[in-house]
Amino acid sequence: MGSAILPEAVTDSRTGADGLSWVRLHIGDILVGDTIRDQPIGILLPLDGDWPVRLGAADRLYHQLISRHADPPLTPQRRERLKRALRTIDGRQSGATYRAVATAFYGAKRVAAEPWKTSSLKAQIARLAAYGRMMIDHGYKQLLRGRNR
């Protein structure tokens, strides 16, 4: 087992008649162990429409705390695509054209290598912009669903 969570991270603590303890951590604290006061940690999950997402996140938390290894919910390729999509949206909101975004990502020489009007890079930047907008508007929970969703 891992180390204990620091007592100063606890904002509220109660023990019921059945011996179970309820502990609430300060917002923003990071779990650094798998026990509090030598007792194992439990997680309360709502049974709602996001149950599979919550369960997957709890499973990753378990593996991170117990074995110190958890598979990330995003593949490196998805993470890179998301970063580029959000950077594209940031650039567009700052007034950058698709061509300027493509130049920032791929360099001026590569952008100039083919006619911009029919460029595959232009189409790629447009797809990144659409993906970034979708993620901002309603796709953020998909990040937690991981690879198989």
Query: pLDDT per residue over 1-37, tens digit each?
Result: 444 556 666 677 777 777 666 666 665 545 555 555 5
d(CA 37, CA 8): 12
Domain residue spans of the chain: 7-66, 76-145
More confident residue, 40 or 3: 40
- Residue 24 DSSP SS3: strand
**pLDDT grade for 145, boundaries at 50, 70 and 90:** low
More confident residue, 45 or 147: 45
Q: Tell me how many degrees the CA angle 36-39-68 measures, rounded to the nearest 5.
A: 70
pLDDT digits (tens, 9 = 90+) for 107-129: 999 999 999 999 999 999 999 99
What phi, psi does 75 have (nearest 5°)? -70, 160
Give per-residue pLDDT as tens, 95-111.
Answer: 999 999 999 999 999 99
Q: Which of 76, 93, 92, 79 is nearest to 125 (CA)?
A: 92
